[in-house]
Homo-oligomer: A and B are copies of this chain.
Amino acid sequence: MSQNISALVNNAKAIKCLYYNEALSSSDISNYIGKSIPHAIKVLNELIKEGYVIEKGYASSSGGRKPLQYSLIPDTHYIVSVAISQFYIQIGILDMNNRFVADIVQHELELYDLKADNLIAEIEKYITQSGINSSKILGVGVTMPGFIDPVKGINYTHLDCKDTSLVDYMQQALSLPVFIENDSTAIALGEQKFGAAMYQDDAMVINLGWGIGLGMIVNGEIFRGHSGLAGEFSHIPLIKNGKLCKCGKHGCLETEASLIAIISKANEEIAQGQRSSLANYETIDADAIINEAVKGDMLSVKLISEAAYHIGQCLAILIHIMNPAIIIFSGKASVIGRLWMAPIQQAINEHCIPRLAAYTELVISNLNANAQLIGGAVLVVESIGKLLGDKIEALNKELDINQ
């Protein structure tokens, strides 16, 4: 049995890199899994026999024999991704080529009101409606705010499940493998494999949403810190004697620059009689401010610019400590990236050693609103080694019983 384990690791690695690349040659795979070409070919042939992989014709060559291309067969398995944010949840299902194969659904559900049973019901409904056989689903990736231990499968901040872990509870109910991860970390995973952080070993991914999150990629891997709390970017103390934050401290970045903070400032200003097209809205929400800012409303632009400047101040600090190759703005609010960029860049220029600022690229994600859902799928793919391992263990148990 132990001989299976090393083979398993290589097979899992090959599946992963094929998921992230859709077509690769034997030599590519050899590089990804760090083994010789004959070895890589052996692995690929095994995966073909097992039905995961298919030969996909020849790629072009710069002079020499054309390399045979290998791909995952898209419809062998599917991945369900669940993206939870402060005010709604989204569910999607992706095939083995990382393509959404059913419409993404969105439910308005406040995180603080959300119950695990609620969530499970929505996921079950979605899977049924998709028409995809449950046996073909590799796993469910759930990504959400909170302090999360992905190994233990617990969210310490939300969705407490009393005597069992959230992951165990959901696995039991859904009869499917479940994995959980923090939303900002998931977005970083998505950017790393399919977005602006591809081929980057040191990237900081800012999750511009109702809060301000940070996912860190260090030495090509997601960095979580010693107890999983690294990247608490939004609670960096910024303003002396600032507003009280829900974390218990005063003047955190989050109290000044999150969408929620911007909304509350907008309401204050309007109440004080400030002229703005926002006054025409019954309730001012994030979309209202974003829309009016795009249209040129002075107050909306001012509020976003001020928030962005504060974010830039904190980014300057982050750059001094981490010296990243790139900072990526992702998450819900990144779609209006242009509005944030100028004041952020200005704050960085003012507060950073010039050499450091010059070495750091700032970009807006091209994954748009889907970064978190994609990250949830990546989360499942990254766990494929574990999934295959569990399957083999189960098979071995059956064998033991039959003997």
Interface size class of A (residues with CB under 8 A): 35 or more
Closest CB in chain B relative to A57 CB, distance in Å = 34
> What CA separation (Å) do A214 and B323 show in the bound complex?
13
Task: Write out the residue numbers on chain B whose beta carbons fall within 8 Å of the beta carbon of A249.
Answer: 351-353
Closest CB in chain B relative to A310 CB, distance in Å = 13
Task: Write out the residue numbers on chain B whose beta carbons fall within 8 Å of the beta carbon of A235.
Answer: 320, 353
* The residue from B201, B218, B224, B232 contacting A356, defined by CB atoms under 8 A apart: B232
A237-B313, A237-B316, A359-B229 known; A321-B323 Cβ under 8 A: no
* The residue from B231, B237, B316 contacting A321, defined by CB atoms under 8 A apart: B231
Closest CB in chain B relative to A315 CB, distance in Å = 11
Task: Write out the residue numbers on chain B whose beta carbons fall within 8 Å of the beta carbon of A273.
Answer: none
> What CA separation (Å) do A353 and B156 show in the bound complex?
15
Task: Let me know if A110 is at the binding interface, CB within 8 A.
Answer: no
* The residue from B230, B313, B351 contacting A323, defined by CB atoms under 8 A apart: B230
Would A201 and B226 count as touching, CB distance under 8 A? yes
Would A229 and B323 count as touching, CB distance under 8 A? yes
Would A229 and B325 count as touching, CB distance under 8 A? no
Task: Let me know if A233 is at the binding interface, CB within 8 A.
Answer: yes
Please give me the residue from chain B that is nearest to A225 by CB atom. Answer: B323
Task: Write out the residue numbers on chain B whose beta carbons fall within 8 Å of the beta carbon of A219.
Answer: 218-219, 221, 223
Chain A residues within 8 Å of B, Cβ to Cβ? 147, 201-202, 214, 218-219, 221, 223-233, 235-237, 247-249, 313, 316-318, 320-325, 351-356, 359
Given contacts A231-B321, A249-B351, 6 further A-B contacts (CB under 8 A): A202-B226, A226-B325, A229-B323, A232-B320, A232-B353, A317-B321
* Shortest Cβ-Cβ A-B pairs, 7 listed: A225-B323, A226-B325, A230-B323, A229-B323, A202-B226, A232-B320, A237-B351
